[in-house]
Amino acid sequence: MNPSSTKLMDVPKQTRDLAPHVVILGAGPAGVGAAYELTRNGFTQVTVLEQRDAVGGNAGSFQLDGVWVDYGSHRLHPACDPTILNNLQKLMGEDLLDRPRHGRIRLQDRWIHFPLKPDDLLLRLPKKFAAGVTLDLLRKHLVKSNGHVESFASVLERSLGPTICREFYFPYARKLWGLAPEELASTQAHRRVSGNSVGKILRKVANSVPGLKKPRAGRFFYPRRGYGQISERICEAAKAGGAKFLLGAKVLGVEREGYQVSAVRYELNGKEHVIATRNVWSTLPVSLLVRSMRPEPPAEILDAGKGISFRGMILIYVTLEQDQFSEYDAHYFPEEAIPISRLSEPKNYSHSSEPKGITVLCAELPADPGSREWQMSDQEIGDSLCAWLEKANLPVRAKVLRITTRKLRQAYPVYRRGFEQHFDKVDQWLGKLEGLLSFGRQGLFVHDNTHHALYMARAAADCLQPDGKLDRSLWAQYREVFEKHVVED
How would residue 41 be classed by pLDDT, with cut points 50, 70 and 90? Answer: confident
What pLDDT score was predicted for residue 207?
Answer: 52
What pLDDT score was predicted for residue 193?
Answer: 60
How distant, in Å, are the alpha carbons of 26, 41, 44, 77, 471 from that of 4? 25, 6, 12, 27, 19
Contact criterion met (CB below 8 Å) for 241 and 36: yes
Dihedral sign for Cα atoms in the order 37, 39, 41, 46: positive
Alpha-carbon distance 246 to 449, whole Å?
A: 25
Three-class secondary structure assignment of the chain: CCCCCCCHHHCCHHHHHHCCEEEEECCCHHHHHHHHHHHHCCCCEEEEEECCCCCCHHHCEEEECCEEEECCCCCECCCCCHHHHHHHHHHHHHHEEEEECCEEEEECCEEEEECCCHHHHHHHCCHHHHHHHHHHHHHHHHCCCCCCCCEHHHHHHHHHCHHHHHHHHHHHHHHHHCCCHHHEEHHHHHHHCCCCCHHHHHHHHHCCCCCCCCCCCCEEEEECCCCCHHHHHHHHHHHHCCCEEEECCEEEEEEEECCEEEEEEEEECCEEEEEECCEEEECCCHHHHHHHEECCCCHHHHHHHHCCEEEEEEEEEEEECCCCCCCCCEEECCCCCCCCCEEECHHHHHCCCCCCCCEEEEEEEECCCCCHHHHCCHHHHHHHHHHHHHHCCCCCCCCEEEEEEEEEEEEEEECECCHHHHHHHHHHHHHCCECEEECHHHHCCCCCCHHHHHHHHHHHHHHECCCCCECHHHHHHHHHHHCCCCCCC
Q: What value does the mean pLDDT take over residues 123-144?
A: 69
Report which of residues 159 and 70 the model is more confident about. 70
What pLDDT score was predicted for residue 4?
Answer: 37
322-333 pLDDT per residue, tens: 999 999 999 999
How would residue 98 be classed by pLDDT, with cut points 50, 70 and 90? Answer: very high
Q: What value does the mean pLDDT take over residues 211-240?
A: 88
Alpha-carbon distance 97 to 387, whole Å?
A: 34
How distant, in Å, are the alpha carbons of 225, 315, 378, 459 from that of 407? 22, 6, 11, 31
Residue 404: CB partners within 8 Å, gap ≥ 6? Answer: 64, 316, 317, 319, 378
Contact criterion met (CB below 8 Å) for 99 and 219: yes
Mean pLDDT, the chain, as a whole number?
A: 89
401-430 pLDDT per residue, tens: 999 999 999 999 999 999 999 999 999 999
Report which of residues 212 and 65 the model is more confident about. 65
Report which of residues 147 and 237 the model is more confident about. 237
How would residue 112 be classed by pLDDT, with cut points 50, 70 and 90? Answer: confident
What pLDDT score was predicted for residue 6?
Answer: 41
The answer on pLDDT for 121 being more than 90 is no
What pLDDT score was predicted for residue 70?
Answer: 98
Report which of residues 442 and 204 the model is more confident about. 442
The answer on pLDDT for 302 being more than 50 is yes
How would residue 212 be classed by pLDDT, with cut points 50, 70 and 90? Answer: very low
What pLDDT score was predicted for residue 164?
Answer: 83
Q: What value does the mean pLDDT take over residues 105-124?
A: 74
What pLDDT score was predicted for residue 161?
Answer: 85
User: Biggest alpha carbon distance in the chain?
Assistant: 74
Amino acid at 377: S
Report which of residues 225 and 191 the model is more confident about. 225
How would residue 118 be classed by pLDDT, with cut points 50, 70 and 90? Answer: low
Contact criterion met (CB below 8 Å) for 92 and 230: yes
| Helix 170-177 and helix 152-160, axial crossing angle in degrees, nearest 10 | 150
